[in-house]
């Protein structure tokens, strides 16, 4: 039996993440938390800091929650039953099947994009993979094709086949061992399959971050709302519906926040951008020197500039901090 903790950890890290990037994070996590008990005992702050840069931070939140549930309810031993695995936070049918088959050799088909693509092309299926009917059809076919005596080997083989031969772009049909039976190849539909129905409409958001500096300290808070970047830190934020056409200091939010208090604008950054799965985030950073504390800032704390690097920030803010290291010397 393979270690279910390591399989689970790798699957969670590699969701929405390229293998080349995710592998380095996996190694860092295993070094910091060699067992699920080590992960469960870790502070949220330490885990989120280690996760920094991977994005989709709900994965990290669920990772911690599940580790603590397994330690509390299962005495630190990963459950082996598919349904119990699937009931854990952040684990859906795909990840549950991967853990059940790879760690415990249970007969559950792992259905990822590679598997869907192979099935769609081999059988010539035009039902969209991202619909309820499509998902049900592809899951049923994948399970029917599974080698129930060797589920782990089969699952790994078919995913590898999709990644190396039946690729999304430029598949190697000329050397494919299934070429004579492939319906998509017969009908010249390889490029058209699989079909996806839903187009992602990306929302545009504008974030203006005010880095209010007072005696080498800056106002910071943790994002707690159910929105992007939950549990990560940020500076004083004004979100706007569109780009500011006039100077940032002319916005209603800024004037209300500062009132008649004296301030000095030290620097104003270029526009930084971060692309998420369903959103485009545009951000600008304005460093402002104060002579006395701000009144009415809820949930913000004054943090020493030199301690900023210890906190976990979203990628957009890290882009700014990494490109302007001089900020930490204010």
Domain check: are 305 and 265 in the same one? yes
Please indicate, yes or no, whether residues 123 and 62 belong to a single structural domain of this protein: yes
Are both 175 and 272 inside the same structural domain?
Answer: no
Q: Are residues 217 and 69 in the same domain?
A: no
Residue 122 in domain: yes
> Mind telling me the catalytic residues?
11
Is 130 in the same domain as 177? yes
Q: What percent of the chain has pLDDT over 70?
A: 95
The answer to whether the CB of 133 falls within 8 A of the CB of 160 is no
Short-list 52, 44, 61, CA closest to 25:
52
> Are residues 116 and 151 both part of a single domain?
yes
Cβ-defined contacts of 66-75 (< 8 Å, 24+): 66/8, 66/90, 66/91, 67/36, 67/39, 67/40, 68/40, 70/36, 70/40, 71/36, 71/37, 71/40, 72/40
d(CA 117, CA 129): 9
- Whether 232 and 141 map to the same domain: the answer is no
Sorting pLDDT into bands at 50, 70 and 90, what band is 275? confident
Range of the domain at 212: 203-329
Query: Domain of 266: which CATH number?
Result: 3.90.79.10
Q: Indicate the number of domains in the chain.
A: 2
Does residue 191 form part of some domain? no
Residue 268 covered by a domain: yes
More confident residue, 329 or 251: 251
What does the pLDDT read at residue 100?
96
Distance CA 113, CA 312 (A): 31
pLDDT tens digits, 147-173: 999 999 999 999 999 989 999 999 999
Question: Same structural domain for residues 15 and 129?
Answer: yes
Specify whether 182 is located in the same domain as 234.
no
What local confidence, expressed as pLDDT, does residue 162 receive? 93
């Amino acid at each position: 039996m393979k270690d279910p903790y390591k399989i689970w950890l790798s699957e969670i890290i590699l969701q929405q993440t390229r293998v080349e990037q995710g592998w380095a994070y996996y190694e860092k996590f295993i070094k910091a938390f060699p067992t699920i008990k080590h992960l469960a005992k870790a502070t949220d702050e330490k885990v989120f800091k280690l996760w920094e840069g991977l994005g989709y931070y709900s994965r990290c939140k669920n990772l911690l929650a599940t580790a603590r549930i397994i330690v509390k309810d299962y005495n630190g031993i990963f459950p082996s039953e598919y349904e119990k695995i699937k009931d854990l936070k952040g684990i859906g049918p795909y990840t549950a099947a991967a853990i059940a088959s790879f760690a415990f050799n249970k007969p559950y088909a792992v259905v990822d994009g590679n598997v869907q693509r192979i099935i769609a092309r081999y059988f010539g299926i035009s039902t969209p993979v991202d619909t309820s009917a499509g998902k049900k059809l592809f899951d049923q076919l994948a399970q029917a094709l599974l080698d129930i005596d060797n589920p782990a080997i089969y699952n790994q083989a078919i995913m590898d086949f999709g990644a190396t031969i039946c690729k999304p772009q430029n598949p190697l049909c000329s050397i494919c061992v299934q070429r004579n039976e492939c319906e998509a190849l017969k009908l010249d539909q390889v490029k058209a399959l699989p079909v996806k129905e839903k187009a992602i409409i990306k929302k545009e958001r504008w974030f203006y971050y005010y880095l209010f500096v007072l005696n080498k300290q800056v106002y910071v808070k943790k994002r707690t709302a159910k929105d992007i970047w939950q549990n990560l830190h940020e500076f004083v934020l004004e979100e706007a519906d569109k780009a500011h056409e006039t100077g940032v200091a002319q916005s209603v939010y800024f004037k209300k926040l500062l009132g008649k208090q004296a301030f000095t604008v030290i620097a104003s950054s270029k526009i930084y951008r971060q692309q998420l799965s369903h959103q485009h985030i545009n951000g600008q950073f304005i460093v402002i020197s104060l002579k006395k504390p701000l009144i009415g800032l809820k949930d913000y704390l004054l943090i020493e500039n030199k301690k900023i690097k210890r906190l976990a920030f979203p990628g957009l803010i890290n882009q700014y901090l990494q490109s302007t290291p001089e900020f930490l010397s204010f």
